[in-house]
Copies of this chain bind each other. A is one copy, B any other.
Amino acid sequence: MKANLEDIAKAAGVSKMTVSRVLRGGTGFSDDTRDRVRKVAESLGYVPNKLAAAFGADQASTLVGMCVPRLTSGLFGQVLDGVDRALSRLGYQLIIGANNHSTEEEEAWVRQIVSWRPAGLILSGRTHQPGTVDLLRQAGMPVVEIWDLTTSPIDMSVGFSHVDCGAEMGQHLLRRGRRRAGYVGALARADVMGQARLDGFRAALAEAGHPLVASELLLDMPGFYAGLYGLETLLSRTRDLDVVYFHNDEMAIGGLAYAQARGIRVPEDLGIAGWGGMEAASILPRRLTTTVVPTTAIGKAAAEALVARLKGEPGQDVTVVPTRLVPGETG
């Protein structure tokens, strides 16, 4: 990794500046010069130094940072995919981090990343440490908050309302005749967005006069086994339920497995509903009642909003993406 612009310039008999212009595909050089410079660069195995470029220029790199709650979440994997595709197409590189549902960890990550002078940041959720918000406002760098809708973003927001998701599901289950609902969650209270769905769910039920009967908030990660175990625990406390809403589809599918193992008929004896819209929900023998979230579209929209802002193009500060309740055969 030795050759730099100077080396190429010498070998090609031009100045550094001309080499720089040629290699960045600018204008202001003859075809002859261009060909000569390119050939020399190639033969020297030149690799540009973006560290120097970003530093020397105006301090803004083509790095974009993105912080997600967990890297093992299937939904966030899809969001990341949407972001990555859009960003790499536009010439940016993606730095990622996980905050483990902690705003403190998020702040630590943001401090690290901001010192790389990224072009922008994508954060998950609307809840942050005050210090994080101060830092980002002061840095004046484009920030997109995704996943959870906020009407007063730090800068921009792409998301949907978790409260509404929960409320809609509550109303749907009530329409289906369910009257005694339970809830199985995970991550304790660390996941504010899961909490928001529970809040919406609870409020919708209460409003209709059929309040939530019982809930079980596990400490675990929201996986298949947690759902199975969570339903078992919930039912050991209260048998008298006619439907259970789960933190997400993985857990709901775990709940389904428990019901099947115990001979509990779904949906006859017990309704089951999930959230997220994982692919497996639609191929189950009985399709899972769930809320489909447009994950990849959110990622794409976030990346594009960020880049639009960087290019000075007009764009919306708040983008609401629609979720869709898909009635299945389980509730």
Contacts and interface: CB of A to CB of B under 8 A. Distances in A.
A70 to B, nearest CB: 7
Contact of A225 (B59, B81, B253, B279): B279
Interface string A283-327: 111000000000000000000000000000000000000000000
Interface in A33-75: 45, 47-52, 54-55, 59, 61, 63, 70-74
Interface in A197-229: 223-225, 228
Given A1-B138, A49-B117, A224-B283, A63 B111 contact: no
Q: What band does the interface of chain A fall in when counting residues whose beta carbon is under 8 Å from B?
A: 35 or more
A20 interface: no
A277 to B, nearest CB: 12
A84 B95 CA distance: 11
Contact of A81 (B71, B84, B284): B71
Contacts of A45: 135, 138
Nearest to A114: B47
A72 B81 contact: yes
A173 to B, nearest CB: 24
Given A47-B139, A94-B97, A78 B72 contact: yes
A49 B114 CA distance: 8
Contacts of A140: 1
Interface string A89-102: 00001111110000
A254 interface: yes
Contacts of A47: 111, 114-115, 135, 139
Contacts of A11: none
Helix, strand, loop or mixed for chain A's interface?
helix
Contact of A284 (B54, B111, B116, B257): B257
A109 B91 CA distance: 10
Nearest to A62: B112
Nearest to A94: B96
A95 B61 CA distance: 13
Interface in A98-155: 98, 109, 111-117, 135, 138-141
Contact of A285 (B98, B261, B283): B261
A54 B54 CA distance: 12
A85 to B, nearest CB: 8
A282 interface: yes
A217 B37 CA distance: 46
Contact of A279 (B51, B59, B61, B224): B224
A120 to B, nearest CB: 13
Contact of A115 (B50, B55, B78, B113): B50
Given A51-B59, A257-B284, 4 more contacts: A47-B114, A49-B59, A73-B77, A93-B113
Interface of A: 1, 45, 47-52, 54-55, 59, 61, 63, 70-74, 77-78, 80-81, 84-85, 88, 93-98, 109, 111-117, 135, 138-141, 223-225, 228, 250, 253-254, 257, 260-261, 279-280, 282-285
